[in-house]
Amino acid sequence: MITIALSKGRIFEETLPLLAAAGIVPSEAPESSRKLIIGTNLENVRLIIVRATDVPTYVQYGAADLGIAGKDVLLEHGGAGLYLPLDLDIAKCRLMVAVQNGFDYEGAVKQGARLRIATKYTECAREHFASKGVHVDLIKLYGSMELAPLVGLADAIVDLVSTGSTLKANNLVAVEDIREISSRLVVNQAALKLKHSQLQPIIDAFAATVAARQV
Protein backbone atom coordinates (compact mmCIF):
# COMPACT_ATOMS: atom_id res chain seq x y z
CA MET A 1 0.00 0.00 0.00
CA ILE A 2 1.21 3.51 -0.89
CA THR A 3 -0.06 6.29 1.37
CA ILE A 4 0.03 9.93 0.26
CA ALA A 5 -0.55 12.73 2.81
CA LEU A 6 -2.31 15.84 1.54
CA SER A 7 -4.07 18.80 3.10
CA LYS A 8 -7.56 19.91 2.07
CA GLY A 9 -8.08 23.00 0.00
CA ARG A 10 -5.51 24.53 -2.33
CA ILE A 11 -2.91 21.76 -2.01
CA PHE A 12 -5.45 19.01 -2.67
CA GLU A 13 -6.90 20.90 -5.64
CA GLU A 14 -3.52 21.72 -7.15
CA THR A 15 -2.30 18.14 -6.61
CA LEU A 16 -5.17 16.54 -8.52
CA PRO A 17 -3.55 17.06 -11.98
CA LEU A 18 -0.25 15.65 -10.68
CA LEU A 19 -2.00 12.58 -9.30
CA ALA A 20 -3.85 12.19 -12.60
CA ALA A 21 -0.52 12.22 -14.45
CA ALA A 22 0.53 9.30 -12.25
CA GLY A 23 -2.75 7.53 -13.07
CA ILE A 24 -4.22 8.18 -9.60
CA VAL A 25 -7.80 9.43 -9.22
CA PRO A 26 -9.25 9.95 -5.71
CA SER A 27 -12.57 8.20 -5.19
CA GLU A 28 -14.03 11.19 -3.33
CA ALA A 29 -13.34 14.85 -2.61
CA PRO A 30 -12.21 15.71 0.95
CA GLU A 31 -14.30 18.91 0.94
CA SER A 32 -17.51 16.93 0.62
CA SER A 33 -16.53 14.02 2.84
CA ARG A 34 -15.61 13.72 6.52
CA LYS A 35 -13.39 10.73 5.73
CA LEU A 36 -9.71 11.11 6.56
CA ILE A 37 -8.61 8.13 4.48
CA ILE A 38 -9.67 8.35 0.86
CA GLY A 39 -9.32 5.52 -1.59
CA THR A 40 -8.31 5.92 -5.21
CA ASN A 41 -8.91 4.12 -8.49
CA LEU A 42 -5.76 2.11 -7.68
CA GLU A 43 -6.21 -0.58 -5.07
CA ASN A 44 -2.74 -0.04 -3.62
CA VAL A 45 -2.83 3.79 -3.35
CA ARG A 46 -4.69 5.76 -0.68
CA LEU A 47 -4.72 9.39 0.38
CA ILE A 48 -4.78 10.63 3.96
CA ILE A 49 -6.15 14.10 4.68
CA VAL A 50 -4.19 15.96 7.36
CA ARG A 51 -3.55 19.55 8.43
CA ALA A 52 -1.02 21.27 6.15
CA THR A 53 1.40 21.66 9.06
CA ASP A 54 1.14 17.95 9.93
CA VAL A 55 2.11 16.58 6.49
CA PRO A 56 5.90 16.43 7.22
CA THR A 57 5.24 14.64 10.53
CA TYR A 58 3.17 11.86 8.94
CA VAL A 59 5.85 11.34 6.28
CA GLN A 60 8.77 11.60 8.74
CA TYR A 61 7.38 8.75 10.85
CA GLY A 62 6.46 6.63 7.83
CA ALA A 63 2.69 6.84 8.41
CA ALA A 64 2.66 8.22 4.88
CA ASP A 65 5.15 7.36 2.13
CA LEU A 66 4.70 10.62 0.24
CA GLY A 67 3.23 14.00 1.03
CA ILE A 68 2.96 17.50 -0.33
CA ALA A 69 3.85 20.42 1.90
CA GLY A 70 4.55 24.12 1.55
CA LYS A 71 8.14 25.30 1.87
CA ASP A 72 6.87 27.46 4.78
CA VAL A 73 5.72 24.34 6.62
CA LEU A 74 8.95 22.48 5.80
CA LEU A 75 11.16 25.31 7.03
CA GLU A 76 9.28 25.39 10.33
CA HIS A 77 9.35 21.59 10.64
CA GLY A 78 13.08 21.35 9.94
CA GLY A 79 12.85 18.48 7.43
CA ALA A 80 14.46 15.74 9.58
CA GLY A 81 14.19 12.31 7.94
CA LEU A 82 12.59 13.69 4.82
CA TYR A 83 13.71 13.50 1.20
CA LEU A 84 12.54 16.51 -0.81
CA PRO A 85 13.17 15.60 -4.44
CA LEU A 86 10.89 18.02 -6.22
CA ASP A 87 9.60 21.57 -6.15
CA LEU A 88 6.07 21.14 -7.52
CA ASP A 89 5.65 24.84 -8.26
CA ILE A 90 2.10 24.83 -6.82
CA ALA A 91 0.46 26.87 -4.00
CA LYS A 92 2.80 29.75 -4.80
CA CYS A 93 2.99 32.77 -2.54
CA ARG A 94 5.57 34.86 -0.66
CA LEU A 95 6.54 35.03 2.99
CA MET A 96 6.52 38.72 3.88
CA VAL A 97 6.71 41.20 6.72
CA ALA A 98 3.64 43.47 6.88
CA VAL A 99 2.58 46.36 9.08
CA GLN A 100 -0.46 48.55 9.54
CA ASN A 101 -0.66 51.34 6.96
CA GLY A 102 1.17 54.36 8.39
CA PHE A 103 3.51 52.43 10.71
CA ASP A 104 7.08 53.61 10.00
CA TYR A 105 8.77 50.20 9.81
CA GLU A 106 11.98 51.46 8.20
CA GLY A 107 12.24 54.20 10.82
CA ALA A 108 11.68 51.76 13.68
CA VAL A 109 14.36 49.43 12.27
CA LYS A 110 16.82 52.33 11.79
CA GLN A 111 16.27 53.50 15.37
CA GLY A 112 17.04 49.99 16.59
CA ALA A 113 13.61 49.65 18.20
CA ARG A 114 12.63 46.27 19.60
CA LEU A 115 9.72 45.07 17.46
CA ARG A 116 6.87 42.79 18.41
CA ILE A 117 6.20 40.33 15.58
CA ALA A 118 3.15 38.08 15.45
CA THR A 119 3.47 35.00 13.27
CA LYS A 120 2.80 31.34 12.73
CA TYR A 121 6.29 31.13 11.17
CA THR A 122 8.49 31.72 14.22
CA GLU A 123 11.55 29.86 12.88
CA CYS A 124 11.59 31.75 9.57
CA ALA A 125 10.89 35.04 11.34
CA ARG A 126 13.64 34.47 13.93
CA GLU A 127 16.17 33.76 11.20
CA HIS A 128 15.08 36.71 9.04
CA PHE A 129 15.29 39.33 11.80
CA ALA A 130 18.51 37.87 13.21
CA SER A 131 20.14 38.16 9.77
CA LYS A 132 19.10 41.82 9.65
CA GLY A 133 20.27 42.43 13.21
CA VAL A 134 16.78 43.53 14.28
CA HIS A 135 15.72 42.72 17.84
CA VAL A 136 12.29 41.16 18.00
CA ASP A 137 9.86 39.59 20.43
CA LEU A 138 8.03 36.83 18.58
CA ILE A 139 4.40 36.13 19.39
CA LYS A 140 3.25 32.74 18.11
CA LEU A 141 -0.18 32.70 16.47
CA TYR A 142 -1.95 29.91 14.60
CA GLY A 143 -3.95 31.97 12.09
CA SER A 144 -5.46 35.36 11.20
CA MET A 145 -2.11 37.07 11.81
CA GLU A 146 -3.46 40.14 10.00
CA LEU A 147 -5.50 41.03 13.06
CA ALA A 148 -2.53 41.39 15.41
CA PRO A 149 -1.28 44.88 14.36
CA LEU A 150 -4.85 46.20 14.21
CA VAL A 151 -5.54 45.51 17.87
CA GLY A 152 -2.11 46.33 19.30
CA LEU A 153 -0.88 42.77 19.74
CA ALA A 154 2.11 43.33 17.45
CA ASP A 155 3.98 45.99 15.45
CA ALA A 156 4.33 43.71 12.45
CA ILE A 157 3.43 40.25 11.17
CA VAL A 158 5.23 37.63 9.14
CA ASP A 159 2.70 35.90 6.91
CA LEU A 160 2.06 34.50 3.46
CA VAL A 161 0.93 36.87 0.75
CA SER A 162 -0.41 35.89 -2.63
CA THR A 163 -2.79 38.40 -4.25
CA GLY A 164 -2.35 40.90 -1.41
CA SER A 165 -6.10 41.15 -0.93
CA THR A 166 -6.06 39.96 2.71
CA LEU A 167 -3.50 42.64 3.60
CA LYS A 168 -5.47 45.28 1.71
CA ALA A 169 -8.79 44.32 3.33
CA ASN A 170 -7.16 44.81 6.75
CA ASN A 171 -5.34 48.08 6.06
CA LEU A 172 -1.91 46.44 6.11
CA VAL A 173 1.03 46.85 3.76
CA ALA A 174 3.92 44.53 2.97
CA VAL A 175 7.26 46.10 3.89
CA GLU A 176 9.73 43.27 3.34
CA ASP A 177 9.96 40.16 1.23
CA ILE A 178 11.46 37.19 3.09
CA ARG A 179 11.23 34.43 0.47
CA GLU A 180 9.25 32.78 -2.29
CA ILE A 181 7.10 29.84 -1.23
CA SER A 182 5.84 26.88 -3.22
CA SER A 183 5.03 23.29 -2.31
CA ARG A 184 7.40 20.35 -2.40
CA LEU A 185 7.02 16.63 -2.71
CA VAL A 186 8.04 15.05 0.59
CA VAL A 187 9.21 11.43 0.62
CA ASN A 188 9.95 9.08 3.51
CA GLN A 189 13.54 7.97 2.99
CA ALA A 190 13.06 4.38 4.19
CA ALA A 191 9.92 3.96 2.08
CA LEU A 192 11.79 5.18 -0.98
CA LYS A 193 14.20 2.25 -0.58
CA LEU A 194 11.64 -0.38 0.42
CA LYS A 195 8.91 0.59 -2.06
CA HIS A 196 11.15 2.04 -4.76
CA SER A 197 9.45 0.29 -7.69
CA GLN A 198 6.05 1.72 -6.68
CA LEU A 199 7.14 5.18 -5.56
CA GLN A 200 9.60 6.11 -8.30
CA PRO A 201 6.98 6.07 -11.12
CA ILE A 202 4.79 8.44 -9.09
CA ILE A 203 7.74 10.78 -8.45
CA ASP A 204 8.69 10.61 -12.16
CA ALA A 205 5.12 11.39 -13.30
CA PHE A 206 4.99 14.41 -10.96
CA ALA A 207 8.41 15.58 -12.22
CA ALA A 208 7.40 15.22 -15.88
CA THR A 209 4.22 17.25 -15.29
CA VAL A 210 6.10 20.02 -13.51
CA ALA A 211 8.76 20.11 -16.25
CA ALA A 212 6.11 20.23 -19.00
CA ARG A 213 4.47 23.24 -17.33
CA GLN A 214 7.76 25.11 -17.27
CA VAL A 215 8.32 25.14 -21.04
Ligand X SMILES: O=P(O)(O)OC[C@H]1O[C@H](OP(=O)(O)OP(=O)(O)O)[C@H](O)[C@@H]1O
**In the sheet where 37-39 sits, what is the strand order?**
37-39, 45-49, 2-6, 66-70, 183-188, 82-87
Rule CB under 6 A: is residue 73 a binding residue for ligand ATP? yes
Binding mask 99-138 for ligand ATP (x = CB under 6 A): ----------------------------------------
For ligand X, the closer CB: 44 or 101: 101
**Least distance (Å) between residue 56 CB and ligand X:** 17
Sign of CA dihedral 154, 156, 158, 164: positive
Residues belonging to the chain: 215
Sign of CA dihedral 63, 185, 199, 29: positive
| Binding-site member from 10, 116, 126, 195 for ligand ATP (CB under 6 A) | 10
The letter for the amino acid at 146 is E
Binding mask 129-148 for ligand X (x = CB under 6 A): --------------x-----
- Under a CB-based contact definition with an 8 Å cutoff, are residues 94 and 161 in contact? yes
- Residues in the site for ligand ATP, rule: CB under 6 A? 7, 9-11, 51-53, 70, 72-73, 91-93, 160, 162, 181, 183
- Residues in the site for ligand X, rule: CB under 6 A? 143, 159-166
